[in-house]
Every structure is written in structure tokens, then in C-alpha cells.
């Protein structure tokens, strides 16, 4: 399968989004890459001089619609969307006071508050819906009637980073209320798009527990990004239209809902 010609990555300034950006910008020939983030460090724009950066808040419909309109005016057609932007959902004052560098005390039912819960849902769930709703016009697949007998054009892909923490079946430890709820709802949102927009291949990808910078320390059991990115890339590459709607781990194995 040929490499995608145009890629759009959200959350591209850090964590897995930055790792995907680094990989795809190293390809030769390099695809056209649009990188979205709410914060864009100056070192990113200088390091990735051939990448177009957009400062966008994924919870803002107007900002995403403006971006979509600009790219449509340019005739941009996105072959691969990788949605990485998200937050962890820890109660800020508890996280900041946690000396043991453990996330669990900052996401129990006793400490969880309305502001933290709703912000997590706003970014992780609404943000995902908002990204897909506003950017799908850039992804819509139009089959050609070309009779040249060339290889048919592949359907565009929307890869959404989810988490096993959003699995009801795997929910055996308790805790993690805001993050788990936001990811379970994210899964439901993407499944809706699978039904309503069959022209696009949607994949929910759990990258494993990774050291992404969503918390200011390395969580117990978290893998280094360089140890998981290769498997994620292979799974993204082999995913085709028959995979649309699946919820998988980095190796493409199904995760129970």
C-alpha cells in the first residue's frame, strides 16, 4: 500500500502525536503534513520546516470549521487523520500534592470533582466528535469511474487514539472515573461515525500505557513512546476498510468493549 499523500495529526506537539509527526516527516518523499495543537512550541516549527502547523483548540467548533474551510479552499484532501489530542482527567490540586508520583489518588470517586470530570469529557469526547465532524469533509471518499485499470484509490483513514481504560470488560480495578468515562464515550462516538460515514475507515487504537507527558511523571508500567510507535504504525498501515469500527491494541488485536 502506498504511503498517504496528505496527513493531519492532532496533538502533534507532544507525546504520541509528536512521534507520529516525526515518523511521517522522515519519509521520502515526505507527505504533506498538517499538525494541529493548542500549543505549538517554536522549536517544532523550526525543526519541522516543511510541516504546516495550526494552532487550534479541538473543543472549539469555530476554530476547526475555519481550518476545514481554509484547507478545502486549497483543495486539500486528507488521506490519513491521526487524532491524538487528549487529557488525563486528574484532579489538579490532588495531582500537584501527590508526592508518591501515583495518579490513582487524583482520580478516585472521593476526590473527583465536576470541573475535572467535565473538562475531561469536553476534551476527550466532545473534542473527538468535534474534530471528526469538522474535518470529515476533508476525508470524504469519492470512488472514481476511471477505466484505466489502475489500482483503486484507498479509502481515507481516521485513526482515533482510545484506551483500554474505556473498555467496560476491562474495567475491573475501579477508579479513573473521568478518563474511563471519556474514553468509553469516545468509543461510542466513533462507532456512530462508522455507521454514518462509511466512506471513511475509522479505527480506535489503544497504544498501551505510554509515557506521553499527560502527567508530570512517568506512571508505573508506562512504556516509552519509541517502544510502541513502531507497532502502532504497522497496525495503521495494514488497517483497511474491513477494519472500520474496530477497537484494537498496537498489534491489531481486538479489545473487548
Under 8 Å between Cβ of 235 and 205? yes
**Nearest Cα to Cα of residue 177 among 59, 90, 86, 94:** 90
pTM: 0.90
If you average pLDDT over residues 215-230, what whole number do you get?
Answer: 69
- Which residues on adjacent β-strands are paired with residue 254? 248
For 6-142+153-248, give the CATH class. alpha beta
Cα separations in angstroms, 142 against 138, 147, 187: 11, 15, 26
Q: How confident is the model at residue 42 (pLDDT cuts 50, 70, 90)?
A: confident
What is the tens place of the pLDDT at every residue in 191-212?
A: 999 999 999 999 999 997 766 5
- Domain extent listing, the chain: 6-142+153-248
Residue 150 is predicted with a pLDDT of 45
Under 8 Å between Cβ of 108 and 125? no
Is the previous residue joined to 29 through a cis bond, with omega within 30 degrees of 0?
Answer: yes
Mean pLDDT is lowest, of 25-29, 45-49, 123-127, 147-151, for 147-151
Q: Could you give the CA distance from residue 208 to residue 235 in angstroms, rounded to a whole number?
A: 13
Residue 1 is predicted with a pLDDT of 47
Q: Could you give the CA distance from residue 30 to residue 50 in angstroms, rounded to a whole number?
A: 9
Q: How confident is the model at residue 45 (pLDDT cuts 50, 70, 90)?
A: confident
Amino acid at each position: 500500500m502506498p504511503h498517504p499523500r496528505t496527513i493531519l495529526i492532532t496533538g502533534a506537539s507532544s507525546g504520541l502525536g509528536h512521534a507520529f509527526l516525526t515518523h511521517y516527516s522522515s519519509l521520502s518523499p515526505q507527505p504533506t503534513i498538517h499538525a494541529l495543537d493548542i500549543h505549538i512550541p517554536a522549536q517544532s516549527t523550526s525543526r519541522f520546516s516543511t510541516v504546516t502547523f495550526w494552532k487550534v483548540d479541538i473543543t472549539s467548533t469555530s476554530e476547526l470549521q475555519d481550518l476545514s474551510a481554509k484547507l478545502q479552499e486549497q483543495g486539500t484532501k486528507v488521506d490519513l487523520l491521526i487524532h491524538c489530542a487528549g487529557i488525563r482527567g486528574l484532579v489538579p490540586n490532588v495531582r500537584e500534592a501527590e508526592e508518591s508520583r501515583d495518579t490513582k489518588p487524583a482520580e478516585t470517586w472521593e476526590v473527583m470533582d465536576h470541573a475535572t470530570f467535565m473538562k475531561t469529557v469536553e476534551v476527550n469526547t466532545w473534542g473527538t466528535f468535534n474534530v471528526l465532524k469538522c474535518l470529515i469533509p476533508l476525508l470524504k471518499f469519492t470512488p472514481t469511474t476511471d477505466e484505466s485499470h489502475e489500482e483503486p484509490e484507498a479509502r481515507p483513514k481516521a485513526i482515533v487514539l482510545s484506551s483500554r481504560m474505556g473498555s467496560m470488560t476491562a474495567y475491573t480495578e475501579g477508579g479513573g472515573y473521568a478518563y474511563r468515562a471519556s474514553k468509553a464515550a469516545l468509543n461510542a462516538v466513533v462507532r456512530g461515525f462508522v455507521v454514518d460515514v462509511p466512506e471513511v475507515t475509522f479505527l480506535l487504537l489503544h497504544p498501551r500505557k505510554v509515557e506521553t507527558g499527560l502527567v508530570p511523571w512517568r506512571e508505573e508500567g508506562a512504556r516509552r513512546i519509541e517502544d510502541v510507535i513502531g507497532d502502532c504504525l504497522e497496525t495503521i498501515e495494514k488497517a483497511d476498510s474491513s477494519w472500520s469500527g474496530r477497537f484494537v491494541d498496537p498489534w491489531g488485536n481486538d479489545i473487548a468493549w
